[in-house]
């Protein structure tokens, strides 16, 4: 194929000049026309693959001394480079937005996750057009582009059938997308998108389905097709696996590989991991374990039941992680079969933040409970020991394991002040561009450096204009200078960090930090003021793990770094600091506009489905009603009329043996069910559920009345409700319950209503719980949740 030779500073390239027609008929045309040609990639430009694992932590992978076997990561590291001082942002969406744009996360509006967006400029969740993505740049330079897996960068109110779609993957530079849009996904029953079209897998767990395998299959299929059809174009593949973010879902045989291998506990695991890190050269010989987090029990302080549960959670996490790495290995094998690995810049990022401590002290079999302040009793969880990881659970591991998986550092995901939240292993593999296979690089770098590194290796300049919009400066710096010079002076002299009010500043080998909150605990009512936070100081050039606080010895240096943080934070839209997490996941409390806005009534038609919580009326913390116009066949009514959420939190209006029923799943801890005695007769009926909320406040109960054709047929109570969110991965569906079922009274699949659902109307009867002082004080007991 012949390409158009591009200037590359303006994307897309301007239209090619055309020869003017000089004749009425083609037979008399004297000047030859030139065919329109695609933009040429730079000569010899490598393919680019970026693989991102989720919630791993520096001391997780065997490639960085951790207990989770990741043979693919090890192989790539042995042939490529390990980066021992590479940093991310401490949460999912911010790291991904920084990776995609080469700018700090607040600079592109992603100060928290998409579900935590507010109206503040640094936190609104809208990537500015002045910050083009790596995919847009490579696509504009002749690359084929595809993304698979977790996206988590689109504003939630835009994740619907009507878009807009310019902030979806296919609107941000990817030719192809297959994956999920939010924070996490059930790996047994995923709800996915192909491009912008909702799809569900055609197999279920009983058929051997698992999401990680599905994503690898799609990536392999795409790259094989791309090399067949356009072998003269390089490709960019972005593979972002859901593992090892909660829910920890993996088949028993993978969990069983680790049976008994964590019985020694998290304290000893930290010692073992640090010793292995020193052997591998990814921690210096003098490195020490950083201090243990206050309030987290040591292994020998746990009961026998707690130890058994904790070991099983970790066995599941490790199996989930190894299984995911095997899928990456399958993708690598496909590239090798195609002969593409030598000229592929393969970036393997082992985590988008530190390992998650959001599982709390005990861990949980249903993650969303902890997000609402509910702690599972180990004596009750132990009954589910052999189900952990299976379709009936939605687990996340205890914080003790997160601290061990972040060895040798302090703290966890969300805590941007300390390396436990922000340092992850990075592997770069490129045989044609890296000669020092197996090398370790110790220069201080950040996720914003990936975009300029890729462009540098591809021979592509940073564009001045994309789609007619002048571009704001790329804030990252290329790491290519380290490829052939292990002792090169680091080029990242300064980097700020902030997440959920936790903040830090790195400058020329020193780091000042302050932690504002604890991810797994409620803090005191009203929290504390940012001005009361205590700052620490570390000389990280000599203190690898932030083990020795030097604030008392060097107050002048600490003060200088605190002032530098203020300068950097103001420059990058960090202010005002916002420590809220769970409450920001409710758009009303966050101060952002959801798709429904101020509408009090929405009518759905039969067959509509896949409505996320921010594209449906918010029925939480308020009175509301559901009115359905249905037609019952002669064979009787069965199946779901309308459902929102799933097994681990949600509600459903459905029929069993013709009888109308309403089920409210309170985190699968309790199911409040109200049902009619008599079945519906064949023909058309109006089914109505009225929910009379108990009053002001969040998570209170309410009275339920069921009516058929205007006649009350049942009434009952829902004693407690879900205050902030039903689910990150499940939706509202009309005439069916997709994903996991809210109620076990109908099947997980084939639960569609047997008759016809003509319409379903949701009416909001009154305002949500008021934003009064008492409610605010209650909310400020911040329960941090998993992203």
The answer on pLDDT for 782 being more than 50 is no
Residue 591 confidence (pLDDT): 82
Torsion of CA 577, 583, 589, 591, to 10 degrees: 40
The answer on pLDDT for 3 being more than 70 is no
Strands 439-441 and 81-83: parallel
The answer on pLDDT for 774 being more than 60 is no
The answer on pLDDT for 238 being more than 50 is yes
Mean of the pLDDT values across residues 34-43?
Answer: 88
Task: Name residue 683's beta-bridge partners.
Answer: 632
**Where residue 522 falls among pLDDT bands split at 50, 70, 90?**
very low
Summarised one tens digit per residue, pLDDT across range 459-487 is: 999 999 999 999 999 999 999 999 999 99
| Residue 326 exposed, middle or buried by CB count within 10 Å (0-12, 13-18, 19+) | middle
- Mean pLDDT, the chain, integer: 94
Mean pLDDT lowest among 188-192, 228-232, 537-541, 777-781: 777-781
Q: Residue 178: which of 128, 132, 129, 223 has the closest Cα?
A: 223
State the Cα–Cα distance between residues 336 and 342, nearest whole angstrom. 8
DSSP class of 540: T
Is residue 762 within 8 A of residue 634, CB to CB? The reply is no
Is residue 762 within 8 A of residue 619, CB to CB? The reply is yes
The answer on pLDDT for 134 being more than 90 is yes
Residue 766 confidence (pLDDT): 63
Angle, helices 304-337/211-229, rounded to nearest 10 degrees: 10
The answer on pLDDT for 541 being more than 90 is yes
The answer on pLDDT for 684 being more than 50 is yes
356 CB contacts (<8 Å, ≥6 apart)? 55, 245, 246, 396, 397, 402, 412, 413, 519, 786
Q: Residue 623: which of 710, 742, 726, 705 has the closest Cα?
A: 705
**Where residue 373 falls among pLDDT bands split at 50, 70, 90?**
confident
Residue 6 confidence (pLDDT): 59
**Where residue 786 falls among pLDDT bands split at 50, 70, 90?**
very low
Summarised one tens digit per residue, pLDDT across range 74-127 is: 999 999 999 999 999 999 999 999 999 999 999 999 999 999 999 999 999 999
Mean of the pLDDT values across residues 394-409?
Answer: 98
Residue 461 confidence (pLDDT): 96
State the Cα–Cα distance between residues 153 and 95, nearest whole angstrom. 10
The answer on pLDDT for 731 being more than 90 is yes
**Where residue 34 falls among pLDDT bands split at 50, 70, 90?**
confident
Higher pLDDT, 523 or 321: 321
Q: Residue 549: which of 518, 514, 519 has the closest Cα?
A: 514
H or E stretch covering 706: strand 702-708
Is residue 499 within 8 A of residue 90, CB to CB? The reply is yes
Confidence (pTM): 0.95
Residue 768 confidence (pLDDT): 54
**Where residue 528 falls among pLDDT bands split at 50, 70, 90?**
confident
Mean pLDDT lowest among 251-255, 448-452, 533-537, 594-598: 594-598
**Where residue 526 falls among pLDDT bands split at 50, 70, 90?**
low
- Within 10 A of 78 (CB to CB), how many other CB atoms are there? 13
The answer on pLDDT for 770 being more than 80 is no
pLDDT above 70: percentage of residues in the chain = 96
pLDDT above 90: percentage of residues in the chain = 88
The answer on pLDDT for 550 being more than 70 is yes
The answer on pLDDT for 450 being more than 90 is yes
Residue 16 confidence (pLDDT): 79
State the Cα–Cα distance between residues 493 and 504, nearest whole angstrom. 14
Summarised one tens digit per residue, pLDDT across range 617-665 is: 999 999 999 999 999 999 999 999 999 999 999 999 999 999 999 999 9
Mean pLDDT lowest among 8-12, 194-198, 573-577: 8-12
Instruction: Set out the domains of the chain in order of their start, with CATH numbers.
Output: 47-485 (3.40.720.10), 499-582 (3.30.1120.10), 587-779 (2.60.120.200)
Mean pLDDT lowest among 178-192, 360-374, 655-669: 360-374
Is residue 700 within 8 A of residue 628, CB to CB? The reply is no
Question: What are the counts of helices (DSSP H) followed by strands (DSSP E) for the chain?
Answer: 15, 30
């Amino acid at each position: 194929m012949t390409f158009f030779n591009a200037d590359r500073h303006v994307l897309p390239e301007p239209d090619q000049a055309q020869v003017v027609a000089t004749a009425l008929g083609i037979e008399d045309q004297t000047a030859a026309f030139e065919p329109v040609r695609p933009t040429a990639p730079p000569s010899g430009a490598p393919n680019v693959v970026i693989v991102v694992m989720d919630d791993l932590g520096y001391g997780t992978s065997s490639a960085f001394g951790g207990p989770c076997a990741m043979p693919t990561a090890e192989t790539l590291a042995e042939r490529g480079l390990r980066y021992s001082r590479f940093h991310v942002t401490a949460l999912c969406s911010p790291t991904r937005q920084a990776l995609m744009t080469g700018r700090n996360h607040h600079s592109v509006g992603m100060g928290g996750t998409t579900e935590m967006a507010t109206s503040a400029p640094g936190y609104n969740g809208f990537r500015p057009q002045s910050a083009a993505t790596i995919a847009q740049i490579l696509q504009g330079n002749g690359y084929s582009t595809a993304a698979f897996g977790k996206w988590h960068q689109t504003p939630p109110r835009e994740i619907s059938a009507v878009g807009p779609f310019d902030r979806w993957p296919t609107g941000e530079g990817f030719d192809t997308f297959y994956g999920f849009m939010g924070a996490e996904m059930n790996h047994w029953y995923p709800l996915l998108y192909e491009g912008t079209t909702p799809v569900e897998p055609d197999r279920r767990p009983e058929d051997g389905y698992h999401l990680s395998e599905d994503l690898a299959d799609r990536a392999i299929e795409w790259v094989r097709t791309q090399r067949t059809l356009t072998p003269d174009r390089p490709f960019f593949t972005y593979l972002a696996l859901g593992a090892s973010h909660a829910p920890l879902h993996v088949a028993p045989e993978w969990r069983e590989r680790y049976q008994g291998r964590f019985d020694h506990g998290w304290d000893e695991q930290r010692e073992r991991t640090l010793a292995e890190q020193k052997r591998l050269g990814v921690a210096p010989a003098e490195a020490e374990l950083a201090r243990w987090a206050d309030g987290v029990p040591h292994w020998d302080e746990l009961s026998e039941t707690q130890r058994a549960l904790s070991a099983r959670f970790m066995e599941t996490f490790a199996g989930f992680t190894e299984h995911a790495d095997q899928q990456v290995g399958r993708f690598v094998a496909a590239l090798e079969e195609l002969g593409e690995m030598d000229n592929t810049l393969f970036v393997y990022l082992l985590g988008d933040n530190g390992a998650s401590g959001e599982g709390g002290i005990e861990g949980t079999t249903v993650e969303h409970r902890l997000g609402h302040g509910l702690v599972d009793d180990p004596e009750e969880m132990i009954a589910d020991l052999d189900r952990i990881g299976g379709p009936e659970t939605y687990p996340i591991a205890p914080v003790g394991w997160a601290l061990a998986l972040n060895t040798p550092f302090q703290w966890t995901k969300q805590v941007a002040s300390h390396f436990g939240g922000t340092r992850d292993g990075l592997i770069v593999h490129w045989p044609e561009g890296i000669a020092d296979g197996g090398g370790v690089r110790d220069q201080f770098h950040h996720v914003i450096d990936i975009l300029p590194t890729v462009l540098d290796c591809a021979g592509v300049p940073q564009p001045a204009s994309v789609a007619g919009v002048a571009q704001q400066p790329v804030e990252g710096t290329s790491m290519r200078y380290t490829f052939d010079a292990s002792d090169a002076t680091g080029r990242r002299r300064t980097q700020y960090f902030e997440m959920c009010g936790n903040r830090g500043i790195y400058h020329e080998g020193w780091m000042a930090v302050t932690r504002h909150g604890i991810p797994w605990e409620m803090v005191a009512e009203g929290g504390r003021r940012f001005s009361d936070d205590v700052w620490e100081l570390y000389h990280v050039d000599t203190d690898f793990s932030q083990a020795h606080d030097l604030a008392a010895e060097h107050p002048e240096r600490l003060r200088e770094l605190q002032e530098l943080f203020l300068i950097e934070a103001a420059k990058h839209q960090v202010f005002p600091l916002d420590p809220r997490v769970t409450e920001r996941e409710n758009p009303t409390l966050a101060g952002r506009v959801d798709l429904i806005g101020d509408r009090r009534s929405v009518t759905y038609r039969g067959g509509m489905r896949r409505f996320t919580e921010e594209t449906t009326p918010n029925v939480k913390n308020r009175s509301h009603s559901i009115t359905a116009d249905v037609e019952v066949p002669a064979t009787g009514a069965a199946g779901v009329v309308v459902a929102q959420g799933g097994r681990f939190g949600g509600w459903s209006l459905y029929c069993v043996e013709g009888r109308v029923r309403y089920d409210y799943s309170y985190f699968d801890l309790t199911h409040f069910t109200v049902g009619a005695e008599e079945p519906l007769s064949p023909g058309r009926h109006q089914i109505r559920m009225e929910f009379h909320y108990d009053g002001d406040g969040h998570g209170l109960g309410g009275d339920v009345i069921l009516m058929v054709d205007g006649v009350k047929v049942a009434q009952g109570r829902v004693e407690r409700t879900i205050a902030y969110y039903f689910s990150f991965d499940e939706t509202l569906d009309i005439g069916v319950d997709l994903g996991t079922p809210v109620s076990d009274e109908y099947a997980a699949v084939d639960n569609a209503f047997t008759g016809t659902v003509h319409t379903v109307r949701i009416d909001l009867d009154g305002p949500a719980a008021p934003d009064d002082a008492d409610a605010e004080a209650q909310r400020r007991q911040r329960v941090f949740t998993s992203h």
